Amino acid sequence: MKKIIILGAGIVGSAVAADLCQRYRVSVVDFNEERLRNLKQRCSVDTVLRHVHDPMTVQDVVADCDLVIGALPGFMGFHTLMAVIDAGKDIVDISFFNEDPLQLDEFAKEKGVTAVVDCGVAPGMPNIILGYHSRKMEVEEYECYVGGMPFERKWPFQYKAPFSPSDVIEEYPRPARMMENGKVVVKTALSDPEYIDIDPIGTFEAFNTDGLRTLLKTIPVRTMKEKTLRFPGHRSLMAMLRETGFFGKEKVQIGSQEIVPLELTEHLLFPKWHLKHDEPEFTVMRLRIAGTEDEKRKEYIYKLFDQYDRETQTSSMARTTGYTGSAVAELVLQGAFDRKGVCPPEYLGFEEPLFRRIMDYMQQRKIHYRVEEKTYDSAAENSK
């Protein structure tokens, strides 16, 4: 039986472990003993109590596995990915880090490693879907609107974090890259707010975030944008905190003490953003892919609405993020995808059989990406 090492026993890593342990030998590594204990009570996995904070530790814990799944917070993601590649191990990584993963492409090829990165709900599934359509049509426009949050709106934040809160905060100061008229433009995160109505919830506020990542390099599309969805009110509050300096990473002097504003902000916010284990929450996504196919104007709209699974007691964000990773892990373990180097998710979408298998995998786990297709005889008809 093939062995998988999962780095991280948070809500996403635990969901992946519970999914894959039914078919593989799974070991989960984390520094939090309580997390590991709770996971072991829920499913048949081995647990390793270690803090993978340095490359030597990473290489030690992955030494005897067939595949690594990275489910660590973003600030640990890049250096952990580099250490796994250096160990010569294939990896499917879910973490969302600042660095460009493609800079490790040649290194991964030299090591003979398949490293699939950004393999979550977004980035992740939208990349796979766009990759698929880019091989069947000339894509001219791509839009992604995505968000995850609890059903209960609570003042003042209108939000709780269904994944690593530090990764949420990181989205708000990070500049957002978009593609406009074939050129990459950089915008301030939280900018260009707009309201959008999505069933069955209602009105959301959308704003710019840096989610396109590798798509800006791998697929030529004239216009691309990605926006995060939140309940109205959250964006302006986060913008105020950012502009006041609460997300700053440089030390400031206050009397005789030096503090890092971001560390104080995290200390105060995270207890209020804590999502309870069984608290109902949901993930919502809208993708729009438009262009020319078979000499006609075509448009595809993908819609996702997923919510907390009471039967398995798994959050929607853990399901939609984690099962993308486990679907791709299956393909790598089975030899269906063995391209060497750093592989963004869109590479899997380029191959229709792989795209179909991933979509079927999600469908079997009751994660439904519903698609609407529209065909226009001419550009004029499209503008009506």
Q: Which element (helix H / strand E) includes 367?
A: none
Structure tokens given for 265? 């902000």
* In contact, 208 and 190? CB cutoff 8 Å: yes
How many whole angstroms separate alpha carbon 127 and alpha carbon 219? 10
- Note whether residue 243 is domain-resident: yes
Q: In this structure, what are the phi and psi dihedrals at residue 75, rounded to the nearest 5 degrees?
A: -70, -15
For residue 167, the model assigns a pLDDT of: 87
Beta strands 223-230 and 202-208, pairing class? antiparallel
| 349 inside domain | yes
* Other beta carbons within 10 Å of 317: 25
53: nearest Cα among 74, 76, 33, 34 = 76
Measured between alpha carbons, how far is 190 from 229 in angstroms, rounded to an integer?
A: 10
Q: In the predicted model, what is the mean pLDDT of residues 122-135?
A: 97
Same domain, 292 and 339: no
Helices 11-20 and 316-333 pack at an angle, to 10 degrees, of 50
Q: Residue 28, Cα to own-chain centre: how many angstroms? A: 20
pLDDT at 383: 46
Higher pLDDT, 342 or 162: 342
CATH of the domain at 71: 3.40.50.720
Strand partners, 144: 226, 287
Answer whether residue 208 is part of any domain: yes
Tell me the residue type at 111: K
Any domain includes 384: no
Domain that residue 355 falls in: 3-120+317-367
Same domain (yes/no): 69, 136:
no
375 within some domain? no
Residues 42 and 113 in one domain: yes
261 phi and psi angles, rounded to 5 deg: -50, -40
Q: Could you tell me the pLDDT band of residue 378, with boundaries at 50, 70 and 90?
A: low
Q: What is the DSSP letter of 283?
A: E
Position 164 confidence tier, pLDDT thresholds 50, 70, 90: confident
Residue 182 lies in a domain: yes
What CATH number corresponds to the domain at position 223?
3.30.360.10
Looking at the fold, whether 178 and 284 belong to one and the same domain comes out as yes
Q: What is the mean pLDDT of the chain?
A: 95
**Is residue 380 assigned to a domain?**
no
Are 342 and 230 part of one and the same domain? no
Instruction: Provide the CB-side half-sphere exposure for 153 (13 A, CA).
Output: 10
Based on the structure, what is the number of domains in the chain?
A: 2
Same domain, 300 and 172: yes
Does residue 139 share a domain with residue 279?
yes
- CA neighbours within 13 Å on the CB side: how many for 108? 25
Taken in order 220, 317, 309, 283, is the CA torsion positive or negative?
Answer: negative
Does residue 253 share a domain with residue 136? yes
Mean of pLDDT values over 120-124:
96
Q: How far apart are CA 220 and CA 270, in angstroms?
A: 39
> Tens of pLDDT along 252-307?
999 999 999 999 999 999 999 988 878 999 999 999 999 999 999 999 999 999 99
pLDDT value of position 384: 45
What are the phi and psi torsion angles at 285 (to 5°)? -150, 145
Please give the average per-residue pLDDT across 144-150, as a whole number.
96
Is the same domain home to 116 and 140? no
Q: 195, 185, 171: which is closest to 222 by C-alpha? A: 185
Beta strand segments in the chain, E: 3-7, 25-30, 46-49, 67-70, 91-93, 114-116, 138-150, 176-180, 183-187, 194-198, 202-208, 223-230, 252-254, 257-259, 281-293, 296-307, 341-343, 369-376
Q: How confident is the model at residue 163 (pLDDT cuts 50, 70, 90)?
A: confident
269 with 153, same domain: the answer is yes
Look at the block and give the residue holding tokens 């974090």: 161
- Looking at 183-187, 307-311, 341-345, which range is the least confident one? 307-311
Final residue belonging to a domain, choices 307, 325, 345: 307
The pLDDT value recorded for residue 278 is 84
Helix and strand numbers (H, E) in the chain are: 14, 18
**How does strand 25-30 pair with strand 46-49?**
parallel
Structure tokens at 1: 């039986």
* Residue 59 tokens, joined: 């290489």
User: Is 342 part of any domain?
Assistant: yes
Could you give the CA distance from residue 272 to residue 337 in angstroms, rounded to a whole number?
A: 41
Buried/exposed code over 281-293 (b: 16+ C-beta within 10 A; e: otherwise): bbbbbbbebbbeb
Who's near 191: CB < 8 A, 6+ residues apart?
176, 207, 208
| Beta carbons of 32 and 9 less than 8 angstroms apart | yes
Residue 139 has which token pair?
A: 């894509």
Indicate if 164 and 276 belong to the same structural domain: yes
Q: Cα angle at 130 between 128 and 131, to 5 degrees?
A: 60
- Residue keyed to tokens 């226009």: 376
What's the whole-model pTM score?
A: 0.94
Same domain, 171 and 274: yes
